[in-house]
Every structure is written in structure tokens, then in C-alpha cells.
Chain A
Amino acid sequence: AQKITQTQPGMFVQEKEAVTLDCTYDTSDPSYGLFWYKQPSSGEMIFLIYQGSYDQQNATEGRYSLNFQKARKSANLVISASQLGDSAMYFCAMREVIASGGSYIPTFGRGTSLIVHP
């Protein structure tokens, strides 16, 4: 079963508008972290934002915010005031605390391709 589901293979947004990229996750572990990464065409993975399962507030980093709805197991990324440079693949990831040895292995979704139109 997929642990991270990103249902939008592609999204389009007009420059300066906001866009929401969806992510749902599946875990029975009470302690976990959620991440979003950006992968431009150059291929590097750029960390954007992190949300811990016990964090009370939704995480924000500049134009990025994470709409964390724990009961619904969703962690959507909101990008405000889109810029042309935001065009990239976006990956949602989850890291659980695995009981044996306390290891942390981030699991990634399939990604969403975002294209920002001028």
C-alpha cells in the first residue's frame, strides 16, 4: 500500500496566484514527520518545509505553508504568490520512527509537476 499519495500528476497555475499541492499519508506510528521537496529540471532535491506529527501549528517557510490536517492524514503544500521559478516537480515525503533500532527512512510520493504560467 502506498504510504504517501500525491493524486495530482500535474498542476498549472498563473504567476502570482496561490496553488495547493495535495498529499495524503498512511501510518499507524504516532510519531512521524512530513516533508516537501522541490526538484527542478536540474535534478537536485531541495528541501522546502517540515511538519512534525506533534506540532500544533502548521509549518510555514516564506511563501510555503503546510496545511496539516492530522485527522484526515493530509499534508498539503500551499505556495503563495507563485513565481516562474516555482515550476518543478514537488515531492511529499514521510519519515516514521521504525521500532527496530529507531531508524528514520523517508518515504516519497510519486510527485506533482507544477507549471507556472506567466
Chain B
Amino acid sequence: GAGVSQSPSNKVTEKGKDVELRCDPISGHTALYWYRQSLGQGLEFLIYFQGNSAPDKSGLPSDRFSAERTGGSVSTLTIQRTQQEDSAVYLCASTSRTGTEAFFGQGTRLTVV
């Protein structure tokens, strides 16, 4: 596609439910990142995929968070048993193997009530 696409754009969920957030990167981009941005804060790195290599999960805050990337393209971030502190905007970005800047999607605003 023309840009990084994320869905849904907004998600309201009840505490304790599981949610799935989707990211469709720019076609041909091998690297994909997930970040979390809490209100008024900077971007917190969550997980990084590069081609077929094992993902870098060092930023995931707990074992309730997981992500996968199927076929080297679309990625899904799953949050199990959501908590109120998970409320944030979840941003996905992609870049080419030798690219400089990361291109960001519009984000998914998650609200846990």
C-alpha cells in the first residue's frame, strides 16, 4: 500500500479482555516496529521485526503482550487480559532494509475501561 496502515483506529475494551491490533506495513519494507505512546509522553519501543530474523522483544512490558508477523508483512500485536495502564496509542512503523527514516501509521488509540 501507499503507507503504513493500522486498524482499528480506535478501540475501547473492558479490563480483562484481550485485544488485537493490526499493522500493514509499506509493501517491500522488511523492518517493522511497534511503539506505545501514553498521553503526553514519548514513544516507548515494544518489539521489532526484521525480515525472517527472530524478533527483538526486549521492549515488551509484560508477558501479556505478544506480536507476530505473518509472511514478512502484516503484523498483529496482542494484549491479553488488558489493564487500564495499557491505555495508550499504539504506533506501528516500517522501514526498508537500508532505509533511513521509519514511516509511521496513524496509530490505534486503545482505551481500557
Q: List residues of chain A with CB under 8 Å of any chain B CB.
A: 33, 35, 37, 43-45, 47, 50, 52, 91, 93, 101, 103-111
Closest B residue to A101 by beta carbon equals B53
Task: Decide if A35 touches B45 in the complex (CB within 8 Å).
Answer: no
* Chain B residues, CB < 8 A from A111: 41-42
* Chain A residues, CB < 8 A from B100: 33, 35, 50, 52
- The number of chain B residues touching the other chain, given as a range, is 20 to 34
Closest B residue to A106 by beta carbon equals B102
Task: Give me 20 A-to-B residue pairs in the complex whose CB atoms sit less than 8 angstroms apart, sorted by A's number.
Answer: A33-B100, A35-B101, A35-B102, A37-B104, A44-B104, A45-B91, A45-B93, A47-B102, A47-B103, A50-B101, A101-B50, A103-B48, A103-B56, A104-B31, A105-B45, A105-B56, A106-B102, A107-B45, A110-B41, A111-B41
Q: Mark B15-37, 1 if CB is under 8 A from A, else 0.
A: 00000000000000001010100
Q: Looking at chain B's contact residues, is the secondary structure mostly helix, strand, loop, or mixed? A: strand
Across the A-B interface, give the 9 residue pairs with the lowest CB-CB distance, nearest first: A45-B104, A108-B43, A47-B101, A110-B42, A50-B100, A108-B42, A105-B48, A111-B42, A44-B106
Closest B residue to A109 by beta carbon equals B42
Closest B residue to A47 by beta carbon equals B101
Closest A residue to B44 by beta carbon equals A108
